[in-house]
């Protein structure tokens, strides 16, 4: 009996949550949660900093979406074999 396919949107959301938790835990481990010790350098412009922060959130969701897509492909292939 074939397994259910995974939702790509839901897996992307899970990837984002996992990455945010990982970033928060690494910040906590390195002590950057203590805001008195953090210095922000915005000399290159706020827009570049915001863009870099948004781009840093892509690897987690993309990895989870790729895994879900591979899973869906394998489920579809095994369902065709059973027919």
Residue-wise pLDDT tens digits, 16-63: 888 888 877 777 776 655 555 545 554 556 667 667 777 778 888 889
Domain count of the fold of the chain: 1
Residue 20 domain flag: yes
Residue 48 lies in a domain: yes
In whole angstroms, what is the distance from residue 5 CA to residue 69 CA? Answer: 9
- Which residues form the domain of 48? 8-33+42-82
**Does 2 reside within a domain?**
no
The pLDDT of residue 69 is: 92
Q: Which of 17, 1, 24, 15 is nearest to 81 (CA)?
A: 1
In a domain, 3, yes or no: no
């Amino acid at each position: 009996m074939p397994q259910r396919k995974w939702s790509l949107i839901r897996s992307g959301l899970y990837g984002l949550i996992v990455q945010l938790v990982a970033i928060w835990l690494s910040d906590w481990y390195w002590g950057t949660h203590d805001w008195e010790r953090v210095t922000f350098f915005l000399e290159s412009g706020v827009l570049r900093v915001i863009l870099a922060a948004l781009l840093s959130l892509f690897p987690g969701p993309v990895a989870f979406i790729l895994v879900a897509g591979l899973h869906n492909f394998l489920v579809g292939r095994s369902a065709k074999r059973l027919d």
